[in-house]
Structure 1
Amino acid sequence: MLYSAMIRQTVYILTLVAILASCQEAPHADKAKVSDARTVKVGEGHAFLADTGASIIGWIGTKPTGKHHGILKLRSGVIYVKDTTITAAEFVIDMLSLQNVDLAADTAMRNKLESELKGPLFFDTNQFPTASFDMTSIEPFKPTLDEDVALKDATHRIQGNFTIKGVTKNISFPAVINISSGKVTAEASFNIDRTLWGISYRADKSLQDKLINSQVNISFSIAASR
């Protein structure tokens, strides 16, 4: 009996480890560096307005039993360009536009998930209908010696104040930016720890299979023109 109990305990421990490990598998992407809010850059040069219809923001959340992904829309955005250099940028994200994509065939589950994400335990969109990103610096991308970059063909490193639910943190991440013929495009994909913005619901690893990964993937594809 003692041997059987030890076997059961070992199986339980291995299962728990497997659950926690699987939940730690956030999408393969660069981890944004997070710090305190910084001074926002003042825009110089021409203003390029974001095309809110063509621009898209993606999100991916994971848990031991699977993952969900969806999109958000821009409410507004502007990128300032002097000659061929971006000097500033600011974007407002419409949190009320949050949509799930992978549950499109299950309307009830999709509505339940969207309602939960928009509720007070997550983004509380009634009180905080928008999020924002205000650039604080931009420079040509040069990876550090110890940096393993996931984003292919990164051209710039962007830093900016990211505000969610009234909490502002500065984040830094690589991006692919192109400026040509009166247009600017920008793409990036990175992971952030949602608990740093006070979104800690079900982030405790002791919850095991009820855990929701604190690492959330954010991606964006922005198109702007004069």
Structure 2
Amino acid sequence: MKKTILSLALTAVFGLVSFANPIDGEKKAVKTDESTVTWKAYKVAGSHTGTIALKSGALEFDGDTLTGGEFVVDMTTINTTDLQGDYKNKLDGHLSSDDFFSTASNPTATLVFTEVKPSGKNSYKVTGDLTIKGITAPVSFDVSIYGSKATATLKVDRTKYDVKYGSGIIGTAKDKLIYDEFDLVVDLQL
């Protein structure tokens, strides 16, 4: 009986100590100046590409296993890379306007991982909450991690974030149609 009471007491003490001091994962900050976010948007008559800067970001690990992440994107840095001169300036201004991302009133966008599942060696299926223009919607994508580098490709439906300019135009203006989905290719340095 004494051994049983002692065992229960020790179990309770060590259980409480473990509960009071949970093992926290390691949070690795992203080197924003060495990381890139490239976008590609499509329209009936072609496509445009560009970049946008990360303001901050981190990935969370338990040992070598990815468990979470969060990022802040500086929407004011929208930059078209496939055009030059007046065409580039016009498109950059239009993307920053209220027709698209309203960067004056929404200078940042965020992504917070809500679920991470291993899908292979160094690969993960991630679900997260993406917030653009103050509107949050879930996105799913794959992440690959090799040493101090991580890569991901996301397909984003812009209409979920009230970015509807040029969406679904019919008739003679159909050559101006902009597809609702755009791609983000993210290369992170940790």
TM beyond 0.5: yes
Aligned equivalent of 1:147: none
TM-score of the two chains, using structure 2 as the length reference: 0.82
Aligned equivalent of 1:31: none
Aligned equivalent of 1:162: 130
Aligned equivalent of 1:97: 77
Aligned amino acid, residue 221 of structure 1: D
**Which residue of the other structure, out of 172, 195, 199, is the alignment partner of 2:159?**
195
Distance 2:95 2:186 in 1: 19
> CA RMSD for the aligned pairs?
1.8
CA contact (8 A) 1:44 1:88 kept: no
Offset of residue 82 of structure 1: 1.9
Offset of residue 154 of structure 1: 7.5
TM-score of the two chains, using structure 1 as the length reference: 0.69
Aligned equivalent of 1:110: 88
Number of residue equivalences: 166
- For residues 124-166 of structure 1, the C-alpha deviation after alignment (integer angstroms, 9 at most, x for no partner) is 0000000000011111126xxxxxxxxxx98110111100000
Give 5+ residue unaligned stretches, structure 2. 1-22
CA contact (8 A) 2:125 2:140 kept: yes
The structure whose Rg is larger is 2
CA contact (8 A) 2:140 2:154 kept: no
Distance change (3 Å), C-alpha of 1:154 and 1:194: farther
Name the SS for the 2:178 alignment partner: coil
Aligned amino acid, residue 59 of structure 1: W
Aligned amino acid, residue 214 of structure 1: D
Distance 2:32 2:157 in 1: 26
Distance 1:118 1:131 in 2: 13
More strand by proportion, 1 or 2? 2
Where do 1:75-224 residues align within 5 Å?
75-103=55-83, 106-141=84-119, 155-178=123-146, 180=147, 183=148, 185-206=149-170, 207-224=173-190
Offset of residue 60 of structure 1: 0.7
Aligned amino acid, residue 173 of structure 1: F
Give 5+ residue unaligned stretches, structure 1. 1-42, 143-152
**Which residue of the other structure, out of 54, 77, 81, is the alignment partner of 2:34?**
54
Name the SS for the 1:109 alignment partner: helix
Query: Which is bigger in relative contact order (C-alpha 8 A, separation at least 6)?
Result: 1
Identity of aligned residues (%): 31
CA contact (8 A) 2:37 2:53 kept: yes
